[in-house]
Structure 1
Amino acid sequence: MVEQRPRGKQSSNKSKGKTRKRMTPRKWFFGLFFTAVIAIVCGIIGYLFIVLNGERILTEKADMLVLGEASIIYDVDGNEVSKLYNANENREIVEFDQIPKLMMDAVVATEDQRFYEHKGIDFWAIGRAVVKDVIARSAVEGGSTITQQLAKNMFLTADKTLFRKATEASIAVALENKKTKQEILTMYLNGIFFGKRVYGIKNAANYYFDKDPKDLELWEMATLAGMPKGPNRYNPIDNPEQSESRRAVVLKLMFDQGYITKQQMDEAVAVKYVAPKKLDDKQTDPYKAFIDYAIEEAIKVMPGGVTEQELRTGGYRIYTTLNTKAQTVVEDEFDNDSNFEKSVDDQKVQGAMIIMDHRDGSIQAMAGGRDYVRKGLNRVVVPRQPGSAFKPITSYGPALETGNFKPSTILANDKKCFGNYCPKDSKGATPISMTEAIKQSRNLPAVWTLNQVGVKSGLDFAKKLGFDLDSTQDRNLTIALGGLTHGVTPLQMAEAYSVFANGGKSVDAHAITSITSSKGKSLFTYHAPASKQLMKPETAWYMTQMLQTVLEKGGTGTGARIDRPVAGKTGTTQHGIPGFNSSGNRDAWFLGYTPEWTAAVWMGYDKTDKEHVLKKSSSQSAAMFSKVMSKAMKGVPKSSFNKPSGIPDEVKSLGAVTNFNAIYDAEHNKVQLSWEPSAGAKNITYEVYRKESAESEFKLYVDSLSSTGVDDMSIFAGMTYQYYVVAYDAENDLKSKPSDTITVQVPETEIDVPEVPMEPDDPSGGTDIPGLPGDGGEVTPDPGIPVDPTPPPVEGGNETPIPPDDGSNPTGGTPTDNGNHGNNGNNGNAGNHGNAGPGNGV
């Protein structure tokens, strides 16, 4: 029988049989050794990961190493007028050697005392930050180096996650491997945000102290060095006391680290900050309309093409034609509400103006509207209906170009229809010279002239001047009065009138002269295209002569006068609102030029409706021209309109026939016409024009009269006749202004039948009454009727109204003629569809 042992005892014996193993020094050594190796390997792997990860990020985002720099716009004199920063980042890059050493010392002393010792990561600072974070049980201390801050600002967000901190460290190490300490510090100072939409040390020095960085004093450097921790809290403008306290901390750190002496520290602490003058101007956007226009032009001319974003942050130097004196005058006058009609509500009467030097095409100034905002509606490039301002372009210019018309040429001015198109004119009557027609802005002569030269000639001439009119819808006589399908812009009108001012040669309007990189490398230089002779020099000269009379007494643009020669033209268009009976207008223009500059002024509502129409015509536009140009051109040397060589002197116009009389001679049943001879030339003959009451226009009754009188024998009883006389110089092909018009009424013939006693019945049954016509009876006519008095002087006409339009289109809409339409216009015939009647002819 086998004896069994108790379990507990067996277990006890087993346990006594085991021996405990001791850790020998050898084992401790190898344990620590392998632990250290593993730690070192992990550290190396971690470090390599950090380095490689940072290198990868820098490679992928290499373009971000180049800080976006605000491009700068300069005026015609090379003065900086604006910066084109991206969104809210107003930054201008400065090089290392332009930053004072004390400025760098202040930043290092405040932000990263061991900057010149570490390789991107300061482990002592990290350890200090970890201790503080543990004590506070939250992330309160960053421990970031300047290099890490640069990495965060350029590549990362501002959160404090572990992953973001690791990535920040990776980029910092990579930056230290690729960049020198001075490059890192320079990039850091160029990228810091200083509040007030200001980035970078250069812009901060300029904004807060009106200085370049190299001119900063110690207290100013300390003020800026203390701001990155809290740009708003330590802002010397918004929080001067906190800014002074922070400045004192920075100065104490600089003193403790041996950068400055105690005396320097004490003196810098004691200074009180005073904001520079015109501080508000540093945050405003001056010359908005011009700069917006210049940006668009710069995008077009930059080689290879750039986006607006790239243009703004590329650090380009953009040199323009901006005349700041003229631009300031324009903006001041457009800010003056008294220069515009008062509206019934908040929708203001708007306006636009552009000034250019037609000698080289440089744009001097422009106003895009009242209260213009950056990237707003620039009305300089918005189409509107030009009204009578288009007459020189489609009617009189083409006529002069044929060589068959001159300023003294007499134009028909009687009310008539061209096909079924009947233009309106308040005073159409006797013929009128081209000069007088332009001066008084008459409608009928303009339409008649275009009809004479042909609509095609008008379209072709306008095209030469830069107007791409609709060849189908604008092929009609209404273009003589500025009735267009799509309208024209103030810029286009200024360019067209510049051609007249420039002797008929093309003018290329431009705002950019050159563009360079921030390093001074030339990227674009403006070269004017070869000049083209768009019209005969004599056409331009004659037009200039005539347009000068518009500003003389009796002209429609007298309000545009300034202290130098000016040629110009007014233009007004009626409202064109269906069912609205009002004399209100839609557009009011003045186009004018001196021997040096050309300007276009437009006024009107963006949206024309029954509540928003102009009560006045072009007088306010002319007045705006005068106010702006008289001030803007001060200092511009005066010159005169010079007649081009080779153009013969035009013989002075013949004096109009005077003492013209027309008397009905009842005894001989005729009208006796007589006048005094015209002065001005020898061998003058006379032309007599007559119109019967039933006729629509005057007709030549007799010509080549060398005498000063003639009898009209071809009259009939009960008819009314009108007469005028024109003197003619055959040698110079020159006609005088028509004489006054006289009306003569020929009375009805009355028959006097005497009483006769009754005779006895004639056996034949006939009755004989002596004295009846055919039987020798006499008729005694009434005495002659006195002639009408001389009619009043001719005044400006009323143009065909703008066609119906609800006013919803701020560009002026696509008009349709409010009057009748003409027939197909070809080689002198009237147009087919009159698309827009211009305004009231002034």
Structure 2
Amino acid sequence: MSKWLKYLISVFALGSVLGVGAIAGVYFYIRPELPSVEILKDVKLQTPMQIYTRDGRLISQYGVKRRIPVTLEEVPQQLIDAILATEDSRFYEHPGIDPIGIIRAAFNLMVTGRLSQGGSTLTMQLARGFFLTRDKTFVRKLKEIFIAWHMERVLTKDEILSLYINKVELGHRSFGFGAAAQVYYGKSLDELNLAQIATLAGLPKAPSTMNPISRPERSVDRRRVVLGRMLSEKFITRAQYESAANEPVSAALHGAEIELDAPYLADVIYNEMVSIYGKEEAETGGYKVYATADYESQKAAIAALRQNLHDYDERHGYRGIIGQLWRKSPPSEEADDGSFIPDMAWSEQKIVSHLKGFSNYGPLRPAVVTNVFEQAITVIDKSGAFHRIEWDGLAWARPYITDTRQGTPPETASDILQEGALIWIRQRDEDDRWQLSQFPEASSALVALDPNNGAVRALVGGYSFYQSQFNRATQAKRQVGSNIKPFLYSAALEQGHTIASVINDAPINQWDRSSGRAWRPANSPAVYDGPIRMRIALGKSKNVVAVRLLRAVGIDNVRNHLRKFGFQMEDLPRDESLSLGSASITPIEVANGFVTIANGGYAVSPHFIERIEGQYGEYVWHANPLTACPVCEQTEGLTAQLGQPEVGDNPNNDEHLNPLPPQAEQVVSSQNMFLVSEMLRTAITGSGSVRNKTYWRGTGWRANSLIRRKDLAGKTGTTNDSKDTWFSGFAPDLVATVWVGFDDPSRSLGRTAAYPYLINNNPHKTTIIGNAMQGGEDGAKAAQPAWIRYMQKALADSPEMSKAIPENIVSVRIDRGTGKLTGRTDHTSKFEYFITGTEPVEWVAEHEIIDETQDEEQKNALEDEIF
């Protein structure tokens, strides 16, 4: 007996030695493929990039994998219990490899002949998830064992558990339990109940086939398994088990909690991040990118642009329905495409099912007309909700004929629609009532910048990013029309003109030998005032005066001067059409040009990102842009003494460590820019006296509705045939540019016939901003209303401020007609600003003074409006 015992011991010992040797051999064979300690200590989770407004509101998320990293302290204990009870109840006891589990898996293999049980610990699952595939092979299993053992040597149990909680795949592109809670329930982990926790804890086994969205029945079965394991491990009571096991499935697919959909802005920031970090790193590095735009400012810009396009669209008429789903009569009618139109109304269920195939675009919702009354309709939308649209939401829909013609106004709802019509509807901002609508064919862009440092405060590149991803704010080069004139006038000031210089506003008729025809630039409207001061000429946007100024200054001098405002020389034509705005420039470039006027002549550049944080909120980068900072020039010594640390040396962004921003270059004098701003201010306010017939109104007069007479300045812009329309303007701390036109540059914005309903019968429209316009479209009608709406919101909390007068600016009394010095103090004179040394020295002669005072009876009948 002892002989056999010795034999067995020898065999066992030999087997053990051979087994250990084999294991050691395999270990050294695959050792080069094992991850390094550094990799395990610095595991990088693939977390999507999130983009926020400056004040922390999520506007977009990029990256295929959804992940919300959480620390172990942020994970509810009940979820930890559920994970350990289900996946690895001896997790805190074994060294990464559970012998009991391996023996169980080996026994199952011998009995069934299949690798149906892996015996994997939680650490082994993590090893497989990070470094291996799911292939069920012996080599992969051995690698998994060694990596798990290796991981347990370099990481603590809590670190391993934390990695598992953040790494594991849980279905529907969610990775980690933080993301899964959001994807399946739209909640954070601490908001989940026991049933939801158990559902998530059961997902690692088969996330694609056991998740509660794709296979709710299997998820319920898996949930019971998890709850049973928790009950066995005494983590929950029998009562808790019964309650959670019988709860109905409450999961639904949730996206990221976007608080403001601003895709044009987000797309610009995304592309900038990709250019810096590369696509893979940008999308998976977990960066939290904070835009320079505030939530309220961006929201106001989106709303202003969309409402303005709807107003333009409604002025030009209704282009018709999307389609006719059924028609009461005549029966058996064919649709335009030859298909049969039934005469039986669809069921609600069928309508809703059909509508779900249509996307929403901004405020636009697809709907179907269910009833038509005398002057009202009822519709059903794709949520199944019914809405009643009254006559004030229908009557605008006179037929569209062309961009310049509209049809006969409707008198009843049946003149517009029939039951079964598939249409667009939208909810009005002013009263939340629903109205008939349509997708605007015209396009638009709005850009708002901080004139102090170029920070983009709002950017909208079109009506809907999901309909057209072309960003008109940054990509569309369009002719700028009269928006070029302030820069031309600045060049004239640089060459010795003053804002009191008199230019002849008279028709130009010049023969062009090269073309064999005369060039006749005309004012719009074709009104000519004769000799006119530059302030009035810019305020009224006189075209022929702009041409005469270009000739006086010289084309090359003007083009070189325009470069100072950031315009590219290749975009500036070298001919006299430049004075009328033939240059093609993007809206953001136009806005940045006006920034230089607004900030006193400093060259700053637009930027979109204020700061970047890592996935755990750690500091990565903060913008430190060139800033229009006159005070910086006076305190250069202070900067030199304190030093100018790099951004990376200032992780807490402590202002005292970086006392002064980098100084922007002053490219035009503050005096020049002050005078241009003055001219642009009166383009809005006008000047003179109605009673004394000296009052004139600028092209931007509609902005007076903002009731800020001291600090608003702006300029309209309209190209030939109204193919491009603009309005650019500013307050002390905000510059905004709006462009409106068609993406097809050959298509004109047209004109509209008078429509009394839009003016008189609709309390929700106004004659200043809204769709109550008539005549030809231009910058004041098509673009400025969006600027007004945006500024109304953006400046709501900003007090009105008078512009500071720079040094070396003097004010003298001049004659209104000639711009010469005058001793009169009546309505024929006014005070005007000049750069010191350029003020007039010649006195007006008595016979040169023009007095257009009305007789006393008429004069007293008019309201005195002196500005």
Partner of 2:843 in structure 1?
731
Counting only pairs closer than 5 Å after superposition, residues 455-474 of structure 1 correspond to structure 2 as 455-470=555-570, 474=573
Partner of 1:157 in structure 2?
133
Partner of 2:809 in structure 1?
647
Query: Is 1:443 aligned to residue 421 of structure 2?
Result: no
Residue 211 of structure 2 contacts residue 219 of structure 2 at CA under 8 Å; is this kept in 1? Answer: yes
Change (3 A) 1:242 1:409: farther
Q: Distance in 2 between matches of 1:602 and 1:736?
A: 42
Q: Distance in 1 between matches of 2:108 and 2:786?
A: 69
Partner of 1:249 in structure 2?
225
Residue 591 of structure 2 contacts residue 735 of structure 2 at CA under 8 Å; is this kept in 1? Answer: yes
Kindly state the Cα deviation for residue 464 of structure 1 after the two structures are TM-superposed: 0.9
Partner of 2:713 in structure 1?
567
Residue 447 of structure 2 contacts residue 458 of structure 2 at CA under 8 Å; is this kept in 1? Answer: yes
Kindly state the Cα deviation for residue 158 of structure 1 after the two structures are TM-superposed: 3.0
Residue of structure 1 aligned with 2:744, choices 584, 593, 607: 607
Query: Is 1:532 aligned to residue 671 of structure 2?
Result: no
Residue 99 of structure 1 contacts residue 214 of structure 1 at CA under 8 Å; is this kept in 2? Answer: yes
Kindly state the Cα deviation for residue 287 of structure 1 after the two structures are TM-superposed: 1.8
Counting only pairs closer than 5 Å after superposition, residues 49-448 of structure 1 correspond to structure 2 as 49-50=26-27, 53=30, 56-59=33-36, 62=39, 65-77=43-55, 79-82=56-59, 84-86=61-63, 88-132=64-108, 138-209=114-185, 211-214=187-190, 216-231=192-207, 233-236=209-212, 243-269=219-245, 279=254, 282=257, 286-298=261-273, 305-336=276-307, 338-341=310-313, 348-373=441-466, 376-407=469-500, 409-417=502-510, 422-426=519-523, 427=526, 429=528, 430-448=530-548
Structure 1 regions of 5+ residues with no counterpart?
1-23, 575-582, 658-676, 683-727, 741-842
Counting only pairs closer than 5 Å after superposition, residues 470-549 of structure 1 correspond to structure 2 as 470=570, 474-484=573-583, 487-518=584-615, 521-529=618-626, 530-549=663-682
Q: Distance in 2 between matches of 1:267 and 1:734?
A: 100
Q: Which has the higher helix share?
A: 2
Q: Distance in 2 between matches of 1:382 and 1:508?
A: 16
The Cα offsets for residues 377-399 of structure 1, whole Å up to 9 and x where unpaired, read as 32221242333234335421111
Q: Which amino acid in the other structure matches residue 286 of structure 1? A: D
Kindly state the Cα deviation for residue 347 of structure 1 after the two structures are TM-superposed: 9.2
Residue 79 of structure 2 contacts residue 197 of structure 2 at CA under 8 Å; is this kept in 1? Answer: yes
Kindly state the Cα deviation for residue 205 of structure 1 after the two structures are TM-superposed: 3.3
Q: Distance in 1 between matches of 2:234 and 2:467?
A: 49
Residue 671 of structure 2 contacts residue 807 of structure 2 at CA under 8 Å; is this kept in 1? Answer: no
Residue 533 of structure 2 contacts residue 818 of structure 2 at CA under 8 Å; is this kept in 1? Answer: no
Change (3 A) 1:199 1:732: farther
Higher relative contact order (CA 8 A, sep 6+): 1
Change (3 A) 1:610 1:632: closer
Residue 382 of structure 1 contacts residue 488 of structure 1 at CA under 8 Å; is this kept in 2? Answer: no
1:602 alignment partner, SS class: strand
Change (3 A) 1:160 1:339: farther
Change (3 A) 1:42 1:135: closer
2:621 alignment partner, SS class: strand
Larger radius of gyration: 1
Q: Which amino acid in the other structure matches residue 293 of structure 1? A: V
Kindly state the Cα deviation for residue 516 of structure 1 after the two structures are TM-superposed: 3.5
Q: Distance in 2 between matches of 1:536 and 1:68?
A: 50
Q: Which amino acid in the other structure matches residue 790 of structure 2? A: V
Q: Distance in 1 between matches of 2:224 and 2:93?
A: 26
Q: Distance in 1 between matches of 2:265 and 2:593?
A: 20
Residue of structure 1 aligned with 2:17, choices 40, 44, 68: 40
Partner of 2:415 in structure 1?
none
Kindly state the Cα deviation for residue 494 of structure 1 after the two structures are TM-superposed: 0.7
Partner of 2:732 in structure 1?
595
2:519 alignment partner, SS class: coil
Kindly state the Cα deviation for residue 104 of structure 1 after the two structures are TM-superposed: 1.5
The Cα offsets for residues 114-138 of structure 1, whole Å up to 9 and x where unpaired, read as 3233333334334434555666665
1:494 alignment partner, SS class: helix
Kindly state the Cα deviation for residue 376 of structure 1 after the two structures are TM-superposed: 3.5
Kindly state the Cα deviation for residue 678 of structure 1 after the two structures are TM-superposed: 10
Q: Which amino acid in the other structure matches residue 482 of structure 1? A: G
The Cα offsets for residues 710-761 of structure 1, whole Å up to 9 and x where unpaired, read as xxxxxxxxxxxxxxxxxx9923799989899xxxxxxxxxxxxxxxxxxxxx
Residue 53 of structure 2 contacts residue 59 of structure 2 at CA under 8 Å; is this kept in 1? Answer: no
Kindly state the Cα deviation for residue 67 of structure 1 after the two structures are TM-superposed: 1.6
Partner of 2:861 in structure 1?
none
Partner of 1:556 in structure 2?
699
Q: Distance in 2 between matches of 1:68 and 1:262?
A: 39
Partner of 1:18 in structure 2?
none
1:379 alignment partner, SS class: coil
Structure 2 regions of 5+ residues with no counterpart?
320-401, 403-437, 627-662, 686-695, 752-775, 820-824, 831-839, 853-867
Q: Which amino acid in the other structure matches residue 667 of structure 2? A: L
Change (3 A) 1:567 1:273: farther
Q: Which amino acid in the other structure matches residue 120 of structure 2? A: S
Change (3 A) 1:414 1:107: same
Partner of 1:616 in structure 2?
777
Q: Distance in 2 between matches of 1:388 and 1:609?
A: 15
Partner of 2:332 in structure 1?
none
Residue 177 of structure 2 contacts residue 189 of structure 2 at CA under 8 Å; is this kept in 1? Answer: yes
1:228 alignment partner, SS class: helix
TM-score with structure 2 setting the length:
0.65
1:91 alignment partner, SS class: coil
Kindly state the Cα deviation for residue 190 of structure 1 after the two structures are TM-superposed: 0.2
Q: Distance in 2 between matches of 1:379 and 1:163?
A: 56
Q: Which amino acid in the other structure matches residue 586 of structure 1? A: K
Kindly state the Cα deviation for residue 58 of structure 1 after the two structures are TM-superposed: 0.7
Residue of structure 2 aligned with 1:625, choices 787, 793, 807: 787
Change (3 A) 1:455 1:732: farther
Residue of structure 2 aligned with 1:634, choices 771, 788, 796: 796
Change (3 A) 1:509 1:32: same
**How many residues are aligned here?**
635
The Cα offsets for residues 803-836 of structure 1, whole Å up to 9 and x where unpaired, read as xxxxxxxxxxxxxxxxxxxxxxxxxxxxxxxxxx
Change (3 A) 1:462 1:41: same
Q: Distance in 1 between matches of 2:495 and 2:846?
A: 17
Change (3 A) 1:245 1:411: farther
User: Structure 1 stretch 596-605 or stretch 551-560: which is displaced more?
Assistant: 551-560
Q: Distance in 2 between matches of 1:137 and 1:230?
A: 22
Residue 53 of structure 1 contacts residue 171 of structure 1 at CA under 8 Å; is this kept in 2? Answer: no
Change (3 A) 1:736 1:384: farther
1:65 alignment partner, SS class: coil
Change (3 A) 1:415 1:739: farther
Q: Distance in 2 between matches of 1:280 and 1:363?
A: 27
Q: Which amino acid in the other structure matches residue 41 of structure 1? A: L
Q: Which amino acid in the other structure matches residue 730 of structure 1? A: E
Change (3 A) 1:557 1:51: farther
Q: Which amino acid in the other structure matches residue 123 of structure 2? A: T
Q: Distance in 2 between matches of 1:33 and 1:542?
A: 105
